[in-house]
């Protein structure tokens, strides 16, 4: 059987201003890298309040897992962030 790589990774630079939903890309995890010069907050699953926020410091990165699309995640702050969408740290095939 021919190998089919389902792990279609994509990278994006996103300018955030206030609460900004990430791009619409199918994936199971999103790596977020903060280059805004300040802390940002990350929310998922439609939450946007401080009680459910994840704080990401400037020049820090974090991998958010357990999603089915990167647009389930939003960021709050001002400046540029970089993201990488991918499937769970492996190369699923069929």
**Percent of the chain surpassing pLDDT 90:** 67
E strand segments, 1-94? 10-21, 29-34, 40-44, 54-56, 61-65, 73-86
Cα–Cα dist 72/93, whole Å: 24
Please tell me whether residue 70 adopts helix, strand or coil conformation: helix
Q: What is the pLDDT of residue 48?
A: 78
Segment among 15-19, 43-47, 59-63 with least mean pLDDT: 43-47
Higher pLDDT: 4 or 62? It is 62
């Amino acid at each position: 059987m021919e190998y089919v790589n389902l792990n279609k990774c994509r990278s994006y630079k996103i300018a955030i201003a206030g609460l900004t939903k990430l791009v619409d890309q199918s994936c199971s995890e999103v790596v977020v890298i903060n280059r805004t010069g300040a802390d940002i907050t990350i929310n998922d699953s439609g939450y946007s309040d401080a009680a459910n926020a994840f704080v990401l410091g400037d020049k820090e990165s974090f991998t958010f897992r357990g999603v089915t699309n990167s647009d389930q995640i939003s960021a709050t702050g001002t400046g540029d962030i970089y993201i990488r969408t991918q499937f769970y740290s492996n190369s699923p095939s069929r």
